[in-house]
Amino acid sequence: MSLLDSIKKKAIAQDKTIVLPEALEERTLKAADIILKEGIARIVLLGSKAAVKDLAGKHGLEHIDKARIIDPVDFEEKDAYADMLYGLRKHKGLTKDDARKLVEDPLYLATLLIKNGAADGEVAGAMNATGDVLRPAFQVVKTLPGISVVSGAFIMIMKEKHWGDDGIVVFADCAVHPDPDANELAEIAVMTAKTTRAIVGVEPRVAMLSFSTRGSAKHPMVDKVAEATKIAREKEPGMLIDGEMQADTALVEAIGKKKAPDSDIAGKANVLVFPSLESGNIGYKLVQRLAGAEAVGPVLQGMAAPINDLSRGCSVDDIVNLVAITVNQAAGK
Ligand code: ACO
């Protein structure tokens, strides 16, 4: 069974509710129909009930009736949710009036539903930019205790099965935090290792990437990665984390043996932690396009509840897959 099939199968065995705030986006509604048909999750759709039903009818989507549809503008619990938002954000200067307006924004209401226990997770981003999906999530749902930074991992499914574990290599951070310091990078490494265990189901071997291997280049950027490696190892002494190293040292056995012969992971890494968002985002897109890898994610890690952001170029299948992953994350919480 493929990794995605097994993730979907696990999701079907759970009873989790996922909120889709972009209900009037065609791919999202088509994905919701498949999810409901296959029983991957219970679904809450945010949008005008008449418009959702109209769009479903136009596309012959027969399972949308099983979803809970909430119209954020005409929601009977709107005042209670506005009060909740005001309580969470008044220390940041949010007024009651601001809260009443924001609660009508599906991206805010989705996070408030999660905070209130009416949903277990969220998937959005088919029609909204990453920042607009993430900001309400950071403000309302916040990070897990002890975690300061949310990051985004991609599960890269390679055509050639000799990479990573059976062709699966996890990349991070490719989606969220532009310029992590050494402490934040260490957190990202540990979170990505945990995501790899939880979602891919394999033991992580984490390479902390740089343009230097074992001090071959001297630069503050290299020092940051070496420091992050040290901190990550102190945080999780039982995990296989090594660096700083170049990508070929991490992935190619002959080069790993030559450049880092004492390393447990050089030449056989299955998790690649990039030094910055710039390198991570460019790196995953290059591998996706030039090597034809399937890029599943970004799987956001470190949030107190699973909220995942789609690329605006996503397909219906991408949305179904990300909802299944979100259910698995919610189940593993
Ligand atoms: N983890 C946890 N919390 C965070 C993070 C983070 N990585 N970044 C910001 N926050 C919190 C802040 O602490 C703050 O909380 P508070 O208001 O309670 O104090 C709140 O979020 C807003 O913080 P700002 O610094 O004002 O954050 P801003 O809104 O400027 O930016 C954002 C956050 C949107 C995530 C920004 O870092 C960003 O745009 N990142 C890049 C996202 C992106 O474009 N990715 C590439 C595309 S994705 C793809 O290709 C798959």
Of the residues 89, 176, 322, which should be mutated to test ligand 1's pocket, given the most ligand atoms within 8 Å of the CB? 176
Which ligand 1 atom is at minimum distance from the Cα of 129?
44
* Model pLDDT, residue 332: 79
Q: What is the pLDDT along the chain (333 residues), one digit of tens a residue?
A: 788 999 999 999 999 999 999 999 999 999 999 999 999 999 999 999 999 999 999 999 999 999 999 999 999 999 999 999 999 999 999 999 999 999 999 999 999 999 999 999 999 999 999 999 999 999 999 999 989 999 999 999 999 999 999 999 999 999 999 999 999 999 999 999 999 998 998 999 999 999 999 999 999 999 999 999 999 999 999 999 999 999 999 999 999 999 999 999 999 999 999 999 999 999 999 999 999 999 988 899 999 999 999 988 889 999 999 999 999 999 977
CB 174, CB 283: distance < 8 Å: yes
Size of the chain, expressed as the number of residues it contains: 333
DSSP assignment letter at 331: H
Is-contact 72 106, C-beta < 8 A?
yes
Write down the domain spans for the chain.
3-142+303-331, 151-295
- Which pLDDT belongs to residue 39? 97
Asked if 3-142+303-331 and 151-295 have one fold, the answer is yes
Confidence (pLDDT) at 231: 98
Whole-number Å distance, alpha carbon 177 to ligand 1 midpoint, is 7
Q: What residue's CA is closest to ligand 1, atom 39? A: 131
Nearest C-alpha to atom 44 of ligand 1 is from which residue?
A: 130
Q: Where are the beta strands (DSSP E) in 88-183?
A: 121-124, 151-157, 168-172
Q: Distance between CA atoms of 240 and 232, rounded to whole angstroms?
A: 10
Cα–Cα dist 4/21, whole Å:
24
- Residue 135 C-alpha to ligand 1 middle, in angstroms? 6
CA of 244 from ligand 1 middle (Å) equals 26
Cα–ligand 1 centroid distance for 134 (angstroms):
6
Round to whole Å and give the CA distance between 130 and 152. Answer: 11
Tokens of 19: 């909120």
**Residues sharing a CB contact under 8 Å with residue 23, sequence separation 6 or more, in sequence order:** 29, 32, 45, 46, 47, 52, 69, 106
Atom of ligand 1 nearest to the CA of 150: 1
Task: Give 282's contacts (C-beta < 8 A, 6+ positions apart).
Answer: none
List C-alpha distances in Å: 38 to 29, 60, 303, 331. Answer: 14, 16, 27, 18
CB neighbours of 217 closer than 8 A, spacing ≥ 6?
210, 211
Q: Per CATH, which fold does 3-142+303-331 belong to? A: Rossmann fold (3.40.50)
Given this model, what pLDDT does residue 313 score? Answer: 87
Give the pLDDT confidence score for residue 1 in this predicted structure.
Answer: 75
Strands (E), the chain: 17-20, 42-46, 68-70, 121-124, 151-157, 168-172, 205-209, 240-245, 271-273, 294-301, 307-309
Of the residues 85, 135, 138, 276, which should be mutated to test ligand 1's pocket, given the most ligand atoms within 8 Å of the CB? 138
Q: Separation of 7 CA from ligand 1 center, angstroms?
A: 28
Number of alpha carbons in the 13 Å side-chain half-sphere of residue 178: 2
Q: Is the pTM of this model over 0.85?
A: yes
Specify the ligand 1 atom closest to the Cα of 311.
Answer: 51
Distances in whole angstroms, Cα of residue 170 to Cα of each of 139, 222, 270, 310, 311 = 27, 21, 6, 17, 17
pLDDT at 128: 96
Q: Which of 111, 115, 128, 135 to mutate to test the pocket of ligand 1 (most atoms within 8 A of CB)?
A: 135
CA distances from 151 to 171, 185, 202, 219, 314 (A): 11, 10, 20, 25, 19
Q: Options 3.40.50.20, 3.90.550.10, 3.40.50.10750, 3.20.20.10; which CATH number does 151-295 get?
A: 3.40.50.10750
Measured CA to CA, the distance from residue 262 to residue 268 in angstroms comes to 13
Pocket of ligand 1 (CB under 6 A): 92, 130-131, 134-135, 138-139, 143, 149-150, 175-178, 281, 298, 311
Round to the nearest angstrom and report the end-to-end CA distance of the chain: 25
Question: Tell me, what's the pLDDT at 297?
Answer: 87
